[in-house]
Amino acid sequence: MKIGVLGGDGYCGWPTALYLSAKGHSVSIVDNFMRRQWDHELGVQTLTPIRTLSERLAVWNEVSGKKIELSVGDVTDYEFISDYFQAFEPDAVIHFAEQRAAPYSMIDRKHAVFTQINNITGTLNLLFAMREFNPQCHLVKLGTMGEYGTPNIDIEEGYITIEHNGRRDVLPYPKQPGSFYHLSKVHDSHNIMFTCRAWGLRATDLNQGVVYGTMTDEVALDEMLINRFDYDEVFGTVLNRFCVQAAMGRPLTVYGKGGQTRGFLDIRDTVRCIEIACLNPAMEGEFRVFNQFTEQFSVLDLAQLVKAAGRKLGIKVEVAHVADPRVEAEQHYYNAKHSKLIELGLEPHLLSDSLLDSLMNIAMKYRDRIDASTIDPQINWRNPRNQRSRSGKALSFAPTESDLLATGD
């Protein structure tokens, strides 16, 4: 297949592009390097030393014998995405090209507005380009389990059967997003659903859980292909944060009581889920939803798992509870369905089998690159305004010319 990977320089996009290329698909990456600029803005860096995209692609072409095309541009620019669709003519397009951090969207008004404009506009441009130039293209959109929130009933896969006043219907599952970022994903889902119904487009919304791990078979081929490992308070995941804190010999900072429960999956399962969705496309006019995760853990569960993994490595790991900067229930019911991808052939990797290889060993290997000042929470979700970067200057999403040069791309 001809598959476009929008946001192919990012944490999920990069290993997905390599995996699809290795499987024999014709792959084209679209990226504007904004993700690297956000690191520069925040004064943080990934734990792993990632190379420029041009270097990464050159190494991949050499070690695999396969070529991945690159188009540099922004999906919020309709002329660019229109030209891309006409030139590449993809059978499927994978949409990772969004600002993906809830904390980033909660920094202040500017970052909230930027997140929603960037994410919603980019998706709308993509939908209009599909309608005009390639209506048979299958959109595979990365959504989030965060759209659902934490309801006190079971979470279905996208839709729920409702009986009300003697009538019965199947409706989109109620949304309870917990940040301006998650709200942007809800708006995306509504826009995609509408265009599938109105224009006959076909789309799969992958409501993904928290992803962990850096290694896939393709990434492991060369050190220069290594993926991101974000651990800072803005883009880092709780599991990455815990592993880095363990490698430093610092207590694991559990927000509140630690009962917050979410779905998780290995990055190797992410790339496989993407291919499964591409090989089993939605029908014309269909908007389908898959819940993309393999296991559920509470924050405290994860802390105990990392503590046990540290013990195996001879590291004494302590657990500390700190005030939760987020607006969320610290203890709640959580039972989400996730059977559709399994039925289509997904064979999950489990965290218990990969915690040391995928996370702890990476944290130990690169612990000299850890910046401890980037870990502790500084963004208060109850008062998102006038928050500062670690350099002391006001945060701004608008990069200067020197910022762009500093990214290396």
Domain assignment of residue 326, yes or no? yes
- Give the range of the structural domain holding residue 115, as residue numbers without chain letter: 2-377
Residues 52-80: what's their mean pLDDT? 98
Domain assignment of residue 392, yes or no? no
The structure tokens 């399962």 sit at 269
Distance (Å, rounded) from C-alpha 293 to C-alpha 206?
Answer: 10
Question: Tens digit of pLDDT for each residue in 241-285?
Answer: 999 999 999 999 999 999 999 999 999 999 999 999 999 999 999
Catalytic residue among 144, 261, 270, 374: 144
Domain assignment of residue 387, yes or no? no
Say whether pLDDT at 201 is over 50.
yes
Looking at residue 253, its pLDDT comes to 98
Query: 202 near 131, Cβ under 8 Å?
Result: no
Residues 357-377: what's their mean pLDDT? 95
Q: Which helix (H) or strand (E) holds 69?
A: strand 69-72
- For the chain, what is the domain count? 1
Looking at residue 95, its pLDDT comes to 98
For the question of residue 23 being annotated catalytic, the response is no
Start-to-end Cα distance in the chain: 28
Quickly state the pLDDT bin for 357 (edges 50, 70, 90). confident
For the question of residue 144 being annotated catalytic, the response is yes
270 token code pair: 């992410």
Looking at residue 406, its pLDDT comes to 34
For the question of residue 173 being annotated catalytic, the response is no
Domain assignment of residue 348, yes or no? yes
We report the CATH number of the domain holding residue 107 as 3.40.50.720
Quickly state the pLDDT bin for 387 (edges 50, 70, 90). low
372 token code pair: 């401890």
Question: Tens digit of pLDDT for each residue in 95-111?
Answer: 999 999 999 999 999 99
Quickly state the pLDDT bin for 386 (edges 50, 70, 90). low
Which distant-in-sequence residues (6+ apart) come within 8 Å of 71 by Cβ?
Answer: 28, 29, 30, 84, 87, 88
Percent of the chain with pLDDT over 70: 94
Residues 188-211: what's their mean pLDDT? 98
Q: Which helix (H) or strand (E) holds 36?
A: helix 34-42
Strand-pair category, 167-172 with 159-164: antiparallel
Domain assignment of residue 393, yes or no? no
Domain assignment of residue 98, yes or no? yes
State the chain's mean pLDDT as an integer.
94
128 token code pair: 């209009």
Domain assignment of residue 398, yes or no? no
Domain assignment of residue 128, yes or no? yes
pTM for the full predicted model? 0.94
217 token code pair: 């078979």
Q: From the CB of residue 350, how many other CB atoms can be counted at a distance below 10 Å?
A: 13
Catalytic residue among 16, 19, 185, 261: 185
Give SS3 for 302. helix
Q: Determine the length of the chain.
A: 409
Q: From the CB of residue 289, how many other CB atoms can be counted at a distance below 10 Å?
A: 23
Residues 59-84: what's their mean pLDDT? 98
